[in-house]
Structure 1
Amino acid sequence: MAIVDVRILVEGASDVEVVSKALQGLALGSEYNITISAIIPTTNVEIAKSAAAGADLLIIATDADRVGRDLAERLFSELGEMVGHVERMKLPLGHDLEHVDVELVRKELKNTLVRAGLKSLQILPEYMALRNQLLDLKGRYDGLTDEYKRLHGEYEALSKAYDELKAESEKLAEENSGLKALLENSKNVYRVEEAWKSLFPAEPVPDEAYIGKAVEKLGLTGRVIVGQGYIFAEDGSLVDELLRTVYLSIAIREEPEPKPPRPEPPKEEPPARAEPAGEEEVAESAEVKPEDIEGLLKGL
């Protein structure tokens, strides 16, 4: 348990002796868990502020007469916000230690400490309510801190992405501006649709990206530029050559593959003629003589 720091403010040095004498009969540490850290003899407000700043409890011990009451009220209003709690204590009239009832001072001091404790208990519910409110606000603050960190991370990521997109947009805008200037300042500029329809009026206009791909494949990069619905070429014949090649490529790609030929059925061999029995086979290599032909004619 923390020790309560109590300081006592009196009017002069004689009051210090009176209060010190009264404190000798009190076991404040064991009974109240408090310590009297200073007894300050002054009527100067600035000195009192310096000496009392930071105390848990400040007891203003002045005489019970009108002067003492006025001084206590002035010090109370000036020092109320500098310490945890301020309590007024009335000292008996007279400053001669031999004629002051020390026991009466001791009793008044104890009563002052009890009053301060009771007043603290009265504000305890308010303190607990404020404490709970503080804890609730701390929880909300911690949640908002985490949310801030998350949003800050998202903001950093979005800022980085924005910078990248901005740089890319500026680059594309520069390229687009250069291309538009090139197209506007060039005479050999043709609209893709018009150039295509002039060659193939019945065919749909192919995609611009497909034509651009053909420019790369044909090695015409730099000589032919395709973009934004236009074709730029050093020579108008290149445009016709390019579009005819594109048309041929599309036609070949769309032409159906030929079907393989059907196999012909095998031809049937005619049956061999039967040779008459008893006839001799004639040799293919037999030699025909002239006298044989003459004999044959005579027989006829």
Structure 2
Amino acid sequence: MAIVDVRILVEGASDVEVVSKALQGLALGSEYNITISAIIPTTNVEIAKSAAAGADLLIIATDADRVGRDLAERLFNELSEMVGHIERMKLPLGHDLEHVDVELVRKELKNTLVRAGLKSLQILPEYMALRNQLLDLKGRYDGLAEEYKRLHEEYKKLTKAYEETKAENDRLREENEGLKALLENAKNIFRIDEAWKSLFPAEPVPDEAYIGKAVEKLGLAGRVVVGQGYIFAEDKALVEELLKTVYLSLAIREEPPKPPESPEDEPLPPKPSEEPEVAADPEVKSDDIEGLLKGL
């Protein structure tokens, strides 16, 4: 159990002697678990504040006359927020140890300590209510702390996604600005379908993405831009060469070369007849002879 720090504030040095004498007959440590850490002789509020700040219990011991009561009230108002608890103690009139009833001072000091303890018991229910409220608030705080941790992790993920999206947006903006500049400065703009049909009227128009890939493969990026159904190029001849290359690529991909025929598939020459054929009509006409001679 913690020791209770008690300090006693008196009006002057003679009161220090009176209070010290009274304390000699009290076993405060064993009976009340308290210690008198300081007896402060002063009527100055600022000095009292400095000396009493942080005490668990402050006893203001002043004379029982009107001056003592006024001083005690003023000190009580000024110091109440700087200490745990304040109790008023009345000293009997007179400051001479030979004429002061020390036993009476000791009894008053003991009663003051008892009053402080009883007042502490009176506020115990309020303390317990505050303690329960504190425990409830602590439970809510722990729950909010967990929620904050979860939200913080989600925030970090969203921040990362935002940064990635922002970077992609910046890239697209830069690409769009380049396309816009190219549109503003381009000499020739061609529709893909019209340019293709002008070269290959009977062939279906290829996919725009395929043409864009051809631009990359041929190293034409920067000179030719494909998008939104258009081709943007420096001149028409470059567009025609690009489309011809695309056409050739599609033709090769769609019509792979046929493998050579096997010699086994070739027709065999007719075998020569062992006996010469004999015409059914052996008669030879003069017109036939003349035709053969002309053929030679």
Query: Same fold, TM exceeding 0.5?
Result: yes
**What is residue 229 of structure 2 aligned with on the other side?**
229
Quick check: 2:186–2:234 contact (8 Å CA) kept in 1? Answer: no
How far apart, CA to CA, are the structure 2 residues paired with 1:246 and 1:75? 100
Aligned letter for 1:115? R
Q: Note the alpha carbon deviations across 1:253-287, whole angstroms, 9 max, x for none.
A: 667999xxxxx9xxxxxxxxxxxxxxxxxxx9xxx
**What is residue 41 of structure 1 aligned with on the other side?**
41
**What is residue 68 of structure 1 aligned with on the other side?**
68
**What is residue 124 of structure 1 aligned with on the other side?**
124
Decide which moves more: 210-219 or 198-207: 198-207
**What is residue 16 of structure 1 aligned with on the other side?**
16
Q: SS of 1:177's equivalent? A: helix
Q: 1:217, CA displacement in angstroms? A: 4.7
Q: 1:55, CA displacement in angstroms? A: 1.0
**What is residue 95 of structure 1 aligned with on the other side?**
95
**What is residue 26 of structure 1 aligned with on the other side?**
26
Q: SS of 2:98's equivalent? A: helix
Q: SS of 1:93's equivalent? A: coil
Residues 110/223 of structure 1: CA separation in 2 closer, same or farther (3 Å cut): closer
Residues 243/43 of structure 1: CA separation in 2 closer, same or farther (3 Å cut): same
Residues 67/207 of structure 1: CA separation in 2 closer, same or farther (3 Å cut): same
Residues 106/213 of structure 1: CA separation in 2 closer, same or farther (3 Å cut): same
What percentage of aligned pairs have identical amino acids? Answer: 88
The TM-score normalised by the length of structure 1 is 0.73
Q: SS of 1:99's equivalent? A: coil
Quick check: 2:187–2:235 contact (8 Å CA) kept in 1? Answer: no
**What is residue 134 of structure 1 aligned with on the other side?**
134
**What is residue 112 of structure 2 aligned with on the other side?**
112
How far apart, CA to CA, are the structure 2 residues paired with 1:223 and 1:104? 111
Q: 1:152, CA displacement in angstroms? A: 4.1
Q: 1:69, CA displacement in angstroms? A: 1.5
Q: 1:225, CA displacement in angstroms? A: 3.1
How far apart, CA to CA, are the structure 1 residues paired with 2:58 and 2:75? 10
**What is residue 79 of structure 1 aligned with on the other side?**
79
Residues 197/126 of structure 1: CA separation in 2 closer, same or farther (3 Å cut): farther
Residues 125/241 of structure 1: CA separation in 2 closer, same or farther (3 Å cut): same
Q: 1:66, CA displacement in angstroms? A: 1.8
Decide which moves more: 26-35 or 101-110: 101-110
Q: 1:208, CA displacement in angstroms? A: 1.0
Decide which moves more: 108-117 or 128-137: 128-137
Residues 98/164 of structure 1: CA separation in 2 closer, same or farther (3 Å cut): same
> What is the number of equivalent residue pairs in this alignment?
264
**What is residue 180 of structure 1 aligned with on the other side?**
180
How far apart, CA to CA, are the structure 1 residues paired with 2:161 and 2:63? 76
How far apart, CA to CA, are the structure 1 residues paired with 2:242 and 2:108? 114
Q: 1:117, CA displacement in angstroms? A: 0.3
Decide which moves more: 118-127 or 168-177: 168-177
**What is residue 292 of structure 2 aligned with on the other side?**
none
Residues 95/184 of structure 1: CA separation in 2 closer, same or farther (3 Å cut): closer
How far apart, CA to CA, are the structure 2 residues paired with 1:225 and 1:84? 82
Aligned letter for 1:66? R
**What is residue 192 of structure 2 aligned with on the other side?**
192
Q: Note the alpha carbon deviations across 1:5-28, whole angstroms, 9 max, x for none.
A: 111112222222222222121111
Gaps of 5+ in 2: 259-264, 266-274, 276-296
* Higher-Rg member (1/2): 1
How far apart, CA to CA, are the structure 2 residues paired with 1:146 and 1:86? 41
How far apart, CA to CA, are the structure 2 residues paired with 1:87 and 1:14? 21
The TM-score normalised by the length of structure 2 is 0.74
